Amino acid sequence: MITASHNPKDYNGFKICRQQAQPLSGQAGLDKIKEAMENEIIQKSPQRGNIARKDVSVEYAEHCLSFINPAKIKPFKIVVDAGNGMAGMTLPPVFEKLPIEVTKLFFELDGSFPNHPASPIELENLVDLQKKIAEVKADFGVAFDGDADRMFLVDKFGHQVGGDMVTALVSDNLLDKYPGETILYNLICSKAVPELIERKGGKAIKTRVGHALIKPLMKKHNAIFGGEHSGHFYFRDFWFSDSGLIAFLVCLDLLSRSDMQLHDKIAEIDPYFRSGEINTKVDSVKDKIEQITEFCSDGEIDRMDGISVAYKDFWFNLRPSNTEPLLRLNAEAISKEILDKKLEEILAIIRS
């Protein structure tokens, strides 16, 4: 697939998969291709490939809708921001089959992204959606990124629902229908996610961050679903690949069945306070992580991805960026006072 995903208009890129939708990444296949190209040892096939053009939009819509019962969906009033990306093409055939009232924003395909970057994880890119939700008095809204593999919900008050909370919502719905299933979540997600999965009788498995790591693990554990704080949601019945549209539909189904507003449902499952991701440039990533490890030696330490430290009332993860001399901090606590106090202590060390 040729796509720059959620990146700005000046970017472009490739998403490369092998058979059965297995993704290639820097440490999972692409490194071998790079080595082969640099050493000119690529083996050319004796047969040439071919190019075929086929419109699968109807079949795609039907498959996405197979995750729910459209007849059971309530007539919600929803604002949808397609961000001038691919959601503008993939969503309309699905909406035609649903009894919802949709107010459309930026459904015109335009790779220059004239209205805002198609990256709904950043709050500044949700301003138009938040205004329109208030203007039309919608029940909630949803925004998709450039290639529509990610999505974020926004409640009627304009509050963004984090990817981890969407992971919890999807898990809630799927475990009602398929009890005892395995669900993966990355280590940045709120504690509310594994707590809900286990409370519903499912098996929760924590993973490192990144689709190239999660997809193989989903196959290994035959997990029905996997979610990330970044808004990536993976489904076993979607070839273990991610789909923002399917996640949206499953959440729509949950809200229809529960007879609750989005903000009320989130309040029901989320008792915690989170920092969001705090990025800090540092001279030495390794030295800072070791300083933090020493400072937090009285906590429960996990080095699955960077360093995670857990206490009774607070936890955090500190991990390096893959591309910059940055440390990424995510934290969560049972109260805002504890969160603020702990963040002040940790950031003082990181920024010293």
Contact 211, 234 (CB under 8 A): yes
Confidence of residue 319 (pLDDT cuts 50, 70, 90): very high
User: Which letter does DSSP use for residue 14 in this model?
Assistant: B
Which phi and psi (to 5°) does residue 142 adopt? -145, 140
pLDDT at 22: 73
Nearest to 102 by CA among 68, 132, 77: 77
Q: What is the pLDDT of residues 255-275, one digit of tens each?
A: 999 988 999 999 999 999 999
Average predicted confidence (pLDDT) for the chain: 93
Please give the C-alpha separations between residue 238 and each of 10, 20, 133, 134, in angstroms, as whole numbers. Answer: 30, 11, 30, 34
Q: Which amino acid is at 319?
A: R
CATH hierarchy code of domain 163-269 = 3.40.120.10
Q: What is the pLDDT of residues 97-129, one digit of tens each?
A: 999 999 999 999 998 999 999 999 999 999 999
Q: Which amino acid is at 32?
A: K
Which phi and psi (to 5°) does residue 69 adopt? -110, 100
- Fold (topology level) of 273-350: TATA-Binding Protein (3.30.310)
pLDDT at 191: 97
Q: Which residues have C-beta within 8 Å of that of residue 287, sequence separation ≥ 6?
A: none
Give the Cβ contact number of residue 129 at 10 Å. Answer: 26
Please, what's the b/e burial string for 272-304 (b: 16 or more CB within 10 A of its CB; e: otherwise)? bbbbeebeeebeebeebbeebeeebeebeeeee
Confidence of residue 157 (pLDDT cuts 50, 70, 90): very high
Q: What is the pLDDT of residues 47-102, one digit of tens each?
A: 888 999 999 999 999 999 999 999 999 999 999 999 999 999 999 999 999 999 99
Compute the distance between CA of residue 310 and CA of residue 301 in angstroms, rounded to an integer.
Answer: 7
Q: Tokens in use for 195?
A: 């707590």
Compute the distance between CA of residue 153 and CA of residue 126 in angstroms, rounded to an integer.
Answer: 10
* Catalytic one of 5, 171, 243, 308: 5
Structural domain boundaries of the chain? 64-161, 163-269, 273-350
Confidence of residue 34 (pLDDT cuts 50, 70, 90): confident
Q: Which residues have C-beta within 8 Å of that of residue 303, sequence separation ≥ 6?
A: none
Query: CATH assignment of 64-161, given 1.10.8.60, 3.30.300.30, 3.90.420.10, 3.40.120.10?
Result: 3.40.120.10
Reply yes or no on whether 243 is catalytic: no
Compute the distance between CA of residue 223 and CA of residue 240 in angstroms, rounded to an integer.
Answer: 9
Confidence of residue 138 (pLDDT cuts 50, 70, 90): very high
Question: 163-269: same fold as 64-161?
Answer: yes
Q: Which amino acid is at 156?
A: K
pLDDT at 6: 67
Nearest to 68 by CA among 174, 199, 139, 172: 174
The pLDDT of 183-209, averaged and rounded, is 97
**Dihedral sign of CA atoms 92, 255, 330, 209 in order:** negative
Q: Of residues 37 and 62, which shows the higher confidence score?
A: 62
